[in-house]
Chain A
Amino acid sequence: MSEPLLQVRDLVKHFPITRGVVFQKQIGAVQAVDGVSFDLMRGETLGLVGETGCGKSTTARMIARLMDPTSGEMLFEGQDLAALKGRSLKQARRDIQMVFQDPYSSLNPRKRVGSIIEEPLRIHGLLKEGDARRKRVQELMDRVGLNPEHYNRFPHEFSGGQRQRIGVARAIALEPKLLIADEPVSALDVSIQAQILNLLRDLQRDMGLTMMFIAHDLSVVRHMCDRVAVMYLGKIAELAPNEALYAEPQHPYTEALLAAVPSPEPGRRGQTSQGLAGWFLERQRHWPVVDQLNIHHRAKDSTLCPECFAEGFPEWLRNITWRGRTPAWPVALGCVAVERELAYGENFPLT
C-alpha cells in the first residue's frame, strides 16, 4: 500500500428530471453522486457500503466509464478517466475491470462460456485465435474453480455461484490493475457467497489486484476490505480503516448501519456481528486445510473450495460434479470432509 492507483476528486453525477414529451424541459436533478472524493491505494481493497440508492453503484459505473460523470476528476495513474475517448479509453479499460451483481443478467445467454471468457481477448486482439486463446480460457476457468472441460457449455447450465465465477474469469482475463466488484455476492446464497469472496481475495493476493468492493452487507465488507467508505445520500459519510470503523464509528449513519447487521446467534443481538457469510468464513478458517473437499449441500452448487488444496486440486477431484438432490445430513453450511480418493458411486465418509 504505497502510492494511490486511483484518485477520485469531487465526483458528481446528476440525473436530470425532465418534463414534456417533444419539448423536454429540465425541472430538476437527482443528485445520485454529489461530490465524492477518495484515494484508492495500490493493492488495497476499499469497501464501499451504504443503502440501496446511495450512489455506490453509480460511483463504480463512472470509474468503469459505463456512465459519464457530470463533473469531477478520476485520476487513474495520473490520467483523468473522465476525459478519455476512443482508443485511449479502450486502452484504459484493460486496466479497470468489473464484476457485476447479477450473475444471471451479466452473462449473455446465447454465448458459450468459453466465448464469454474469450471476449476480452478478442476485443483487444490478444493472443492468437484458436488454440492459444482456448488454452488461456481454460487456464482462467481453472483459476476461478470451474471445470475447464465445460468451456463449451451455455450459462444456463451453471448455478449462480458458478456463473459468478465465469464473470470473475472474464474480468481477470485482461489482468487488470483495478477490479471493481459491484455487489458481487448479493444475488447468491449465503454459503456460496463465502466461496466467491474467498476466490476474489485469493485472486487479489495472487495477482496483486487493487479492488473496490461494493456491498450493502457490512459483514461481507468487513471480511474483504482494508478500508471502508460509508456512503450516504450521494456523499461519503465516513472513510476509515476496517477495524477502526467497526470499533468506533464516527458518523451516526455508520452506527445505524452497524446496528442493523443481524447476528447469527440470537443471544448476541446488538453486538457488532458479521452476518452469516462472515460467520461461515470465520469457521472455515479454523478447519484443517489439507485433504479437505468442500461440497456444497445444494446439488447444483457443488464447488471445491480453493483453499483446501494449497498446491492445486489433485486430478481425481477435478471431475466431480454434484447433481443429486439435497442430502439428508445436516451440512451446517455446506461442507463435508473427504479424506481420501472416492470411487465412482461410493458413499461419502462424513465428519
Chain B
Amino acid sequence: MSTGTLLEEAFDSDAMGRPEVVAARTPSQRFWRRFRQDRVALASLGFIVFLILVAVFAPVVVAIAGTPGPNTIDSNLLNSFGMPTGPSLEHPFGVDGLGRDVLSRTVYGARTSLEISILATLIATFVGVILGMAAGFFGGWVDTIVSRSVDVMLAFPVFLLALGLASGCSLGNGCAGGLIQPGISTVVAVIALVSWTYPARLIRGQVLSLKQKEFVDASRSLGASNTRIIFREILPNLVVPIIVYASLMIPTNILLEAALSFLGAGVPAPTASWGAMISDATSIFETAWWYMLFPGVAIVLTALAFNLVGDGLTDAMNPRASD
C-alpha cells in the first residue's frame, strides 16, 4: 500500500514516540560543518596557524634554524666586494646588504606584519561596528555625522594620508599628545584610521535592514531598552558579517603595512618588516635576488592565505548555502 510506505518513511525519519532531548545543531556547528568541507580554506587556515606559531615563537624558530638573530650584523658574511652572500647551509635564505640573516629577518618580519595587521583590523572593526550600529540604529544627526565622516574619509587619498600621518607621528614624541608613540603603535593607528570606514558603512546598512524586522518591535513592546535591543537583538545578527569582513580586512592591512614600510613610513629600522626588506633589496636586487624574493613570497602567501580563509568563511556563513 503506497500510503503505508509513505507513512513508514515518514515515521522512520523521526524518532516518533521515543522521548529524546532534542539538541539542535547550533549555527556555529553548522558553520564548522560547511567550513570543514572547504579544503582550500582549511589548508590556508593551516598555513595561517603555522605562520602565527612561527611569529610567536620566532626566537625558537631562529634557534632551531641555527641562524643569528635578526639584527645581528656580521660583515664577515659579505664577500670581498662588500656584497651579501646567497643562500647556503648556514644561511638558507642568504644574508642582506649589512650582513644580517634573511631567514631570521623574514621570521621576525612575520611578527611585525601579523601584529600590526591584526591589531589594526581589531581596532578598525571595533570602531566601525560601534559607529555603524549607532548610525544605523539611531539615524538622525548621529547618522549624518558618521556617514559624512565616512564619505570624507573615503574621498581622501587614503594612502597619502596614511603616509603623511605615519611619517608625522614617527618623529620625536609621536602624535595625539604622546598617545601614539613612534613604532608599531603609529602604524597600527594609521592603518586603523584609514580602514574603519568600510565596516562602518557595511554595518550601518545591515542595521538599517535589521531594525525593520518585527523581532525588534517585539523586543521593544516587551519593554526592552535601546541598549538591550542593540546588543542583544541586533548584534548577534551581525556576527557573521563582522567576522567575514574582518577576515578579509587582515590581508589588506598586511599589504598596507608592507607598502608603508616599503615607502619608509612603517616601523622604524632596525625592526624587521617585510615591506622594509623589499625596499632595502631594490638597490641590490641584481646581485642579491634572495633578499627580495623571500620576504616577497612571505607577503604573497600570507595575504593569499588570509584572503582564501576569508572567502571560505563567507561561503560557510552564507545562510542561503545548504548543508
Contact = CB atoms under 8 A, between A and B. Distances in A.
Nearest to B212: A105
A153 B10 contact: no
B6 A325 contact: yes
B11 interface: yes
B22 A344 contact: no
Interface in B97-147: none
Contact of B214 (A100, A112, A322): A100
Interface stretch (A118-126, A189-197, A220-228): A118-126
Given A66-B217, A100-B218, A109 B237 contact: yes
A149 interface: yes
B34 to A, nearest CB: 15
A71 interface: no
A105 B223 CA distance: 19
A324 B24 contact: no
B215 interface: yes
A152 B21 CA distance: 9
SS of B interface (majority):
helix
Contacts of B214: 100-102, 105-106
Interface in B205-249: 213-215, 217-224, 228, 233, 236-237, 239
Given A98-B217, A105-B214, A109-B237, 20 more contacts: A93-B222, A96-B221, A97-B221, A101-B214, A105-B213, A106-B214, A108-B215, A110-B237, A112-B24, A149-B21, A154-B26, A154-B27, A320-B17, A325-B10, A327-B6, A342-B17, A344-B16, A347-B4, A347-B8, A348-B7
A106 B222 CA distance: 13
B23 interface: yes
Interface string B18-36: 1111111011000000000
B221 A152 contact: no
A47 B15 CA distance: 41
Which of A66, A102, A174, A342 counts the most chain B CB atoms within 10 A?
A66
A108 B236 contact: yes
B220 A299 contact: no
B20 to A, nearest CB: 8
5 contacts: A97-B221, A105-B213, A108-B215, A149-B20, A318-B19
B12 interface: yes
A112 B21 CA distance: 15
Interface of A: 61, 64-66, 89-90, 93-94, 96-98, 100-102, 105-112, 119-120, 123-124, 149-150, 152-154, 157, 167, 170, 174, 299, 316, 318-325, 327-329, 342-348, 350
Interface size bucket, B side? 35 or more
Contacts of A325: 6, 9-10
A322 B16 CA distance: 8
A299 B16 CA distance: 13
Contact of A170 (B4, B13, B222, B236): B222
A65 B221 contact: yes
Contact of A119 (B2, B26, B219): B219
B2 A170 contact: no
Contacts of A149: 19-22
A126 to B, nearest CB: 11
B14 A328 contact: no
A153 B215 contact: no
A344 B233 CA distance: 40
A211 to B, nearest CB: 15
